[in-house]
Amino acid sequence: MARSVLAQQPHWKAFASRRRDPATKREAVLKTAAELFLEKSYGRTSLNDIAARLNITKPALYHYFHRKEEILLECYRWGTTLIEESLTEIASSSGTGLEKVAAFIYSYANVMTVNFGRCVMRLDEGDLSAQALEEVRNYKRKIDRRLRSFIQDGIRDGSVGPCDPKIAAFSIAGAVNWICMWYEPEGPLTGEEIASQFARTLTQGLARRRTEVSRRTAPPGPSAD
């Protein structure tokens, strides 16, 4: 989805003029819903709430979404698309595995500071239908597999110390996902600053130590015989 000028104006203004295109109005619905999911939680937000915030009727909202779950899934797809675009670029880069892990953390952490990422990660999966839950879990598996592949690349090229890629990936994802629980847009740090610090901190535990590299490359010492 293309970014629009809605970031600079109240979302309801997208519906104030009949000349607004459907894509812009659909985006306004998603951004408004994400705000309400954060304010009230997904379970406590209704389609009536979303329509009221946009100054439109509920039937008018049905032109874009018929169920609240459709809106949530579209928010999730938006956030996932932002991540996947970055992951494809990272995977094709010539950096080390550790550098790719750092780039992954930076990209993922940034998404966790925007409303789409924050509202989805705060979601209680019990609120989803079986079909929607499976779609969400498929997205999570794809991202997890890509992170593990970067860690494995690092182990092979020597930039990452010996570790269990699965446990390492779970540890990183758990730390980054938790950003959505404490991040405040009006806080002292920007999303980019938080992402940079997370990338630096979380990769320190993965990086192969210099002493470890020295042992692997040092010539054998004199024989004791």
Q: Which tokens in the block code for residue 64?
A: 């874009």
Q: Read off the pLDDT of each residue in 124-149 and give the average, rounded to a whole number.
A: 87
pLDDT of residue 214 exceeding 70: no
pLDDT of residue 15 exceeding 70: no
pLDDT tens digits, one per residue of 40-61: 888 889 999 999 999 999 998 9
pLDDT at position 140 is: 86
Q: How confident is the model at residue 18 (pLDDT cuts 50, 70, 90)?
A: low
Cα torsion 76, 12, 4, 113: sign:
negative
pLDDT at position 43 is: 86
pLDDT of residue 16 exceeding 50: yes
Share above pLDDT 90 across residues of the chain, in percent, rounded to a whole number: 39
Q: Read off the pLDDT of each residue in 1-10 and give the average, rounded to a whole number.
A: 43
The residues with which 160 forms a beta bridge, in sequence order, are 207
pLDDT at position 42 is: 86
Q: Which tokens in the block code for residue 205?
A: 């535990």
pLDDT tens digits, one per residue of 79-135: 778 778 888 889 888 899 999 999 999 988 988 888 887 877 777 777 788 888 898
Dihedral, 176, 179, 181, 184 alpha carbons, nearest 10:
-170
Structural domains of the chain, with CATH? 10-61 (1.10.10), 70-209 (1.10.357.10)
Backbone angles phi, psi at 10, to 5 degrees: -55, 140
Summary mean pLDDT of the chain: 82
Give 225 or 18, the one with higher predicted confidence: 18
pLDDT at position 220 is: 46
pLDDT of residue 222 exceeding 80: no
CB atoms within 10 A of CB 113: 21
Burial of 87 (0-12, 13-18, 19+ CB in 10 A): buried
Q: Read off the pLDDT of each residue in 59-68 and give the average, rounded to a whole number.
A: 90
